[in-house]
Amino acid sequence: MQKITAHLRHNADVRIAFENARRMTKHYSKSFYFSASVLPRECRWATYAVYGFCRYADNLVDNPRTRSIDEIKHEVDMFAHELRIAYRTGESEHPIIRSFVIAAHAYHIPIEYPLDLLRGVVMDLEYNRYATYDELYVFCYRVAAVVGLMMTCVLGYSDPSALEYAEKMGVAMQLTNILRDIEEDAERGRIYLPMDELERFGVSEDDVFMRRMTPEFRALMQFQSTRAEQLYREAEPGILMLPAETRFAIYSASKIYRGILPKIQANDFNPFCGRVYVPTGKKFSILLRELARTRLHILQSRFNIVS
């Protein structure tokens, strides 16, 4: 398979497509862009392409537009149709798929991963409640875990079980997003917490929509936070299965997302105290620290230095 850099050298249209993906990454996620920018060159361009694809897919549904739900679904279907053809032929005139399919072929990303992502974004058009955690898990897998699986293909791995750990990490991150965004989602008429667990803890939908922070709601939030934390712990061994030179990217992402959970706890698990986040400066501090640790590890390995 021809390397991405070879495509960039010999095809101006491909250069434009990858540059567009790079600009999208920089525009939408400064920390992700910085993390990608210090990856090895081939891996860096593939990361931009994967991010660009995922962002475009999300924007099809999340960006406020005047289209009907059926029209948006049709747009997603056409996008998926073009993706299938591109996987078969290795090329596309679509400005997003053009770069993505080159990266997908170079890094052997199974087509089911991006197709599952598209199925996940459509779920947001079809569901605003999930009856059980098993149902919610499918959503988390499709919109988040498959992103981690695609990035695991790009970053490389030494053991196929790394993919199982990547799935856990992606689900943990999506659950963290859900806990962070309860108030924002409620404003859009959405509740992502499993309905049977609301009932088990004695929390009503009105408690969510009316922003009533009851002891029962607090216990439910604590339970969900513990579930996410457990998934982060279970996912950790998979990071060591990544190459040393790319490992820092996942360590950083994990620490940044995981860092949201203590902030939720510091608010006494009240999701109505304002959206919690990890400050940009803290994100870059984590990235730089993990990058330095990775490079120190590489030097130690190269020169057989015992730490």
- Same domain assignment for residues 133 and 168: yes
- Same domain assignment for residues 70 and 169: no
- Same domain assignment for residues 84 and 152: no
- pLDDT at position 6: 87
- Same domain assignment for residues 104 and 157: no
Q: How many domains does the chain have?
A: 2
Whether 300 is in a domain gets the answer no
CATH (domain of 207):
1.10.600.10
DSSP label at residue 202: T
CA distance 186 to 244: 41
- Same domain assignment for residues 131 and 280: yes
- Same domain assignment for residues 104 and 132: no
Mean pLDDT of the chain: 92
- pLDDT at position 2: 64
| Cβ atoms of residues 147 and 173 within 8 Å | no
H/E element holding 58? helix 41-62
Give the HSE-up count for residue 282: Cα atoms under 13 Å, Cβ half-sphere: 10
- Same domain assignment for residues 131 and 112: no
Whether 304 is in a domain gets the answer no
Whether 301 is in a domain gets the answer no
- Same domain assignment for residues 74 and 188: no
From first to last of its 307 residues, the chain has per-residue pLDDT tens of 568 988 888 899 999 999 999 999 999 988 788 888 888 899 999 999 999 999 999 999 988 789 999 999 999 999 999 999 999 999 999 999 999 999 999 999 999 999 999 999 999 999 999 999 999 999 999 999 999 999 999 999 989 999 999 999 999 999 999 999 999 999 999 999 999 999 999 999 999 999 999 999 999 999 999 999 999 999 999 999 999 888 888 888 889 899 999 999 999 999 999 888 778 887 778 877 877 776 666 555 556 654 4
- Find how far residue 15's CA is from the centre of its chain: 25
CA distance 163 to 157: 8
Whether 299 is in a domain gets the answer no
Whether 307 is in a domain gets the answer no
Whether 158 is in a domain gets the answer yes
- Same domain assignment for residues 132 and 102: no
Whether 297 is in a domain gets the answer no
Domain of residue 85, residue span: 1-118
| Cβ atoms of residues 32 and 249 within 8 Å | no
Whether 100 is in a domain gets the answer yes
- Same domain assignment for residues 175 and 112: no
- Same domain assignment for residues 19 and 108: yes
- Same domain assignment for residues 113 and 207: no
Convert the pLDDT of each residue in 192-237 to its tens digit: 999 999 999 999 999 999 999 999 999 999 999 999 999 999 999 9
- In the chain, how many H helices and how many E strands? 17, 0
